[in-house]
C-alpha cells in the first residue's frame, strides 16, 4: 500500500515526517511517497541517518503556511507539498493522504482536489478524544461552522463507519451534544436533529450534556463544527491547565519531589492515556479518499501513527461503509416518502 505524505506540513517538518515515514515503512510494511523539496529531504535524511527504503519523493518546492488563506491551495499554492500529495491520491498514485499542515487548507484541498463521497454534503474533521472509558469521536470538530440537521445526521453515519471499522467499537453509541437531555433543549438545529437521529438505523442514545462526555456517555458526539471546535480546544486547554497545576504540586518541596518518584510509572501511564500522538491524527471523513490530518506539533511517533491510521482506513474500507450507509438511508427515506 502506498501512502502520500506531505513532507513539509507541521511544526517539525521535514525531519519528523521523514522519521515517521521510515518507522511506518519498517513497522507496517507500507510504501510512502513524500512530497517536498527533494534535495532538502535527502539531505535531512542523510544527516539524521534515516533509512529511505520504501520511501520515494515527488519534488516540489512550494509550501502552504498555516497562516495563509486556505483557498490558496487551489491557486497560488497548487504546486505546494500538500496540494501535490492530494493530487497523487486523486490520481490513484497513492491510496491515502497524511499531512500535519494547515487544517483549513486540507479541508478545502481535500474537498476540491480529492472530492467528497457522492451524496455527502460536507466533509468533517473527526477528533478521537480520551475519556474515562476509552475514547470518543467528536464529529464535527471544526470543519463546518454552519450546519443543518441533515448534515448532523450524515456526521453520525460517518462517525459510526470510522468508530466501527477503524477503532473496532461494535455498534458505537451516538449522542447529540446538547445543553440538557430533554427534546426541547438547544437551538432548532439540535431539536430537529434529535428527532431525525431517533429515526435512523444507528445506536442513538439521545441528547448528551458536555459534562457526561469525558465520563464516557457515548462513543460518538455529534455537533456543529463551531461547538465541536470549542469542545476540542477547551479539552486541550483544560488538560494543560490541570496537568500544569499538578506539576507545580510535584515541584513544591523535597517531599513532593520524592512523591513524584514513587508515582512516576502510574503518572506516565495516565499521561500516555491522554496523549494525542498515540491516536495519530484526525481523519477528514466524507472525502472519497482516506485523508488524515496529523496534529501540527506531531513528532516522528505521531506521524508513524497517522500513517498506520491511514492504512487501517484503507484496509477497512471506511469509504465503502459510508457509501453503503448513505444508500441505506436514502432507500429508507424513499420508502417512507
Binding track, positions 168-197, relative to a second copy; x by CB under 8 A: ---------x-x------xx----------
Shortest reach from residue 82's CB to a second copy, in Å: 19
Is 199 among the residues that bind a second copy (CB under 8 A)?
A: no
Shortest reach from residue 261's CB to a second copy, in Å: 8
* Closest CB to a second copy among residues 111, 227: 227
Stretch that binds a second copy, among 34-42, 73-81, 248-256, 316-324 (CB under 8 A): 248-256
Number of residues that bind a second copy (CB under 8 A): 54
The answer to whether 20 and 307 have CB atoms below 8 angstroms apart is yes
Binding track, positions 307-336, relative to a second copy; x by CB under 8 A: ------------------------------
Q: Which residues of 146-170 are buried (b: 16+ CB within 10 A; e: fewer)?
A: ebebebbbbbbbbbbbbbbbbbebe
Place of cell 497562516: 67
The answer to whether 140 and 126 have CB atoms below 8 angstroms apart is yes
**How far apart (Å, rounded) are the C-alpha atoms in residues 242 and 235?**
11
Shortest reach from residue 104's CB to a second copy, in Å: 9
DSSP string, 111-177: IIII-BPTT-S--EE-EEEEETTEEEEEE-SSS-SS--HHHHHHHHHHHHHHHHHTS--SSPEEEEE
SS3 content of the chain, % helix, strand, coil (to 5): 50, 20, 30
Stretch that binds a second copy, among 5-13, 39-47, 112-120, 244-252 (CB under 8 A): 244-252
**How far apart (Å, rounded) are the C-alpha atoms in residues 159 and 318?**
10
Is 11 among the residues that bind a second copy (CB under 8 A)?
A: no
Q: Which of 35, 111, 207, 227 binds a second copy (CB under 8 A)?
A: 227
* Closest CB to a second copy among residues 85, 221: 221
* Closest CB to a second copy among residues 17, 186: 186
Shortest reach from residue 252's CB to a second copy, in Å: 5
Is 210 among the residues that bind a second copy (CB under 8 A)?
A: yes
The answer to whether 6 and 98 have CB atoms below 8 angstroms apart is yes
Is 134 among the residues that bind a second copy (CB under 8 A)?
A: no
Q: Which of 258, 324, 327, 331 binds a second copy (CB under 8 A)?
A: 258
Backbone angles phi, psi at 149, to 5 degrees: -55, -40
- Tell me the CB-side half-sphere exposure of residue 57, using CA atoms within 13 A: 18
Shortest reach from residue 231's CB to a second copy, in Å: 6
Greatest Cα-to-Cα distance within the chain, rounded to the nearest angstrom: 72
* Closest CB to a second copy among residues 76, 243: 243
**How far apart (Å, rounded) are the C-alpha atoms in residues 73 and 83?**
6
Q: Which of 132, 198, 330, 332 binds a second copy (CB under 8 A)?
A: 132
Residues forming the site for a second copy (CB under 8 A): 131-132, 142, 145-146, 177, 179, 186-187, 209-215, 225-227, 229-246, 248-250, 252-253, 255-256, 258-260, 262-263, 266-267, 269-270, 273
Amino acid at each position: 500500500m502506498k501512502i502520500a505524505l506531505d513532507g513539509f506540513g507541521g511544526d517539525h517538518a521535514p525531519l519528523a515526517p521523514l522519521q515517521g515515514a521510515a518507522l511506518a515503512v519498517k513497522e507496517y510494511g507500507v510504501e510512502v511517497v513524500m512530497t517536498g523539496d527533494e534535495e532538502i529531504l535527502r539531505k535531512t535524511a542523510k544527516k539524521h541517518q534515516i533509512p529511505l527504503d520504501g520511501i520515494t519523493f515527488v519534488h516540489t518546492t512550494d509550501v502552504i503556511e498555516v497562516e495563509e488563506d486556505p483557498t490558496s491551495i487551489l491557486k497560488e499554492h497548487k504546486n505546494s507539498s500538500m496540494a501535490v500529495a492530494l493530487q497523487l491520491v486523486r490520481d490513484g498514485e497513492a491510496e491515502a493522504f497524511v499531512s500535519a499542515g494547515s487544517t483549513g487548507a486540507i479541508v478545502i484541498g481535500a474537498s476540491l482536489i480529492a472530492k467528497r463521497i457522492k451524496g455527502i454534503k460536507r466533509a468533517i474533521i473527526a477528533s478521537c478524544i480520551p475519556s474515562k472509558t476509552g475514547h470518543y469521536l467528536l464529529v464535527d470538530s471544526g470543519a463546518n461552522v454552519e450546519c443543518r440537521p441533515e448534515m448532523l445526521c450524515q456526521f453520525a453515519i460517518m462517525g459510526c463507519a470510522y468508530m466501527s471499522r477503524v477503532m473496532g467499537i461494535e455498534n458505537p453509541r451516538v449522542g447529540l451534544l446538547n445543553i440538557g437531555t430533554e427534546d426541547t433543549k438547544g437551538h432548532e438545529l439540535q431539536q430537529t436533529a434529535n428527532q431525525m437521529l431517533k429515526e435512523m438505523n444507528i445506536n442513538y442514545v439521545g441528547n448528551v450534556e458536555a459534562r457526561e462526555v469525558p465520563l464516557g456517555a457515548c462513543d460518538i458526539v455529534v455537533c456543529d463544527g463551531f461547538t465541536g471546535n470549542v469542545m476540542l480546544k477547551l479539552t486541550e486547554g483544560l488538560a494543560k491547565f490541570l496537568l500544569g497545576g499538578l506539576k507545580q504540586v510535584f515541584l513544591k518541596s523535597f517531599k513532593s519531589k520524592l512523591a513524584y518518584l514513587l508515582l512516576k510509572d502510574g503518572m506516565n501511564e495516565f499521561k500516555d492515556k491522554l496523549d494525542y500522538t498515540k491516536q495519530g491524527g484526525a481523519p477528514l471523513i466524507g472525502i472519497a479518499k482516506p485523508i488524515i490530518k496529523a496534529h501540527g506539533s506531531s513528532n516522528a511517533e505521531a506521524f508513524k501513527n497517522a500513517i498506520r491510521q491511514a492504512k487501517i482506513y484503507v484496509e477497512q474500507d471506511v469509504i465503502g461503509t459510508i457509501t453503503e450507509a448513505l444508500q441505506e438511508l436514502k432507500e429508507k427515506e424513499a420508502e417512507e416518502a
